[in-house]
Amino acid sequence: MAKHPFEQFNFDSDILTAIDALNFKQPTDIQQRVIPKMMKQTNIIGQSQTGTGKSHAFLLPLFQQIDPNITEPQAIIVAPTRELATQLYHAALQLAEHKQGVKVSLFIGGTDFEKDKHKTTVQPQLIIGTPTRINDLAKIGALHVHLAHYLVVDEADLMIDLGLIQEVDQIAARLDDETKMAVFSATIPKSLHPFLNKYLENPTFIEVKTTSKNKSSIEFYLIPTRGSAKIEKTIELIHTLNPYLGIIFCNSRENADHLAQQLTSEGIQVGMIHGGLSPRERKQQMKRIRNLEFQYVIASDLASRGIDIEGVSHVINFDVPKDIDFFTHRVGRTGRGNYKGIAITLYTPDEETLIHQIEAKGYHFNNVDVKNGELVPIKAHNTRRLRQKQDDHITQQVKHKVKRNNKKKVKPGYKKKFNQELENLKRQEKRQFSRRKNRQNRKNK
């Protein structure tokens, strides 16, 4: 009988049953590297992009090590947003179904504080939540965080961006010196170093890199447009695609609001997620999104990292992100697990420099346009730039062939004659280049 692919980690049978129920076929790269370290109670700094299977890289070893017979906190997972914490909570509940006696509790802002206090009457073995709410419950002695032997900090660089790292610091300060930590982050900014240096002694650094930025599960498309026609192009694209769920990303909440108004006026119903919504509005929107009331959701970059939305088949970049890291986070919303995804980026002439920067990072696009309800291949957006580069190269090659007038007094019309001769030589060089290329193509056939 073939060996279970996760058996190498020495998981108990109930954890292996949970893995089968999740239909995990093989451990991902980050799971392969993180799980053994966490099983050995090691301090970890993990750097990986979204969609790599990171959540189960720490959830699985935590569940393996939780003792159901001890009714006190044994592990804490903090996430920067309520939505991310809720997503982790639901993932943990799926595992808890297969390990009897493990209590998992969620503590996030925007919920009734008194109800959260009541939930701590029986202490959970696994605490999941946002740092502020967990910290508030710990301060009044309701939540016994000091007993936990493992703290996981998810999306640590987003904790920095949202000003939450001080709250995480206060939770960490309550823990025993022997408590281990695993800190996961897409990037490791300098502002995160003081926290890492303070709490993680001799950590193992695990970075998951991909040589090619293009995930095989995602098709990348690039569509040119003009600034004034971008909304019309988006509407045309919406009528062309038929996603299970599509997210349209904008660079600002103002752009998101304006696009939503324009699409709504065209009779297109869309969801909305950005930092300008109140906690209640965000909760209502997320509920409607998960109930598949919308085929499209317009979002700011909060949703590219701070909110995890399942089942995204298409990502559309209405605006090209100015921070290239956000491009990675956005497209990482689709093509997750065993599913395929499509990432489409609309760009205007003034955004072409940003496209070049994205390509320089290792991404490759299929250049297309929307015509008659289809995505039709077109010339690459950088064709003109490549042609100019080739022309400049030929100019440098032939320039030295033109005889310069070395006399101190330049004859009248010399510059004009020089340029004419230069152009003649360039034409000859281009013809020779074309002949060589044609001969090479015939030889290769």
144-163 tens-digit pLDDT? 999 999 999 999 988 988 88
Give the pLDDT score at 443.
55
Give the pLDDT score at 259.
94
Sign of CA dihedral 182, 185, 189, 192: negative
Q: What is the pLDDT of residues 235-252, one digit of tens each?
A: 999 999 999 999 999 998
Cα 223 from chain centre: 21
CA distance 255 to 298: 10
The sheet carrying 180-185 orders its strands as: 104-107, 126-129, 75-78, 150-153, 180-185, 44-47, 204-207
pLDDT of 121 strictly over 90: yes
* Residue 66, CA distances (Å) to 42, 100, 127, 149, 158 in order: 16, 11, 12, 10, 28
CA distance 410 to 279: 77
Give the pLDDT score at 212.
55
Give the pLDDT score at 416.
63
pLDDT, the chain, mean: 85
CA distance 258 to 130: 31
Give the pLDDT score at 107.
97
| Lowest mean pLDDT, pick from 2-6, 129-133, 152-156 | 2-6
Give the pLDDT score at 56.
95
| Lowest mean pLDDT, pick from 96-110, 217-231, 379-393, 394-408 | 394-408
Q: Which residue has the higher pLDDT, 337 or 179?
A: 179
Sign of CA dihedral 429, 435, 438, 444: negative
Average pLDDT over residues 328-339: 84
CA distance 360 to 155: 25
Average pLDDT over residues 391-418: 53
Give the pLDDT score at 417.
64
pTM of the model: 0.69
Closest to 315 (Cα-Cα) out of 286, 339, 284, 350: 339
pLDDT of 399 strictly over 60: no
The token duo for 271 is 């969801």
pLDDT of 10 strictly over 50: yes
Q: Which domains, and CATH codes, for the chain?
A: 7-207 (3.40.50.300), 218-377 (3.40.50.300), 384-432 (no CATH)
pLDDT of 130 strictly over 60: yes
| Lowest mean pLDDT, pick from 30-34, 59-63, 223-227, 366-370 | 223-227
Q: What is the pLDDT of residues 18-61, one digit of tens each?
A: 999 998 989 999 999 999 999 999 999 998 876 678 999 999 99
Most confident of 53-57, 70-74, 400-404: 70-74
pLDDT of 183 strictly over 90: yes
Closest to 76 (Cα-Cα) out of 59, 90, 97: 59
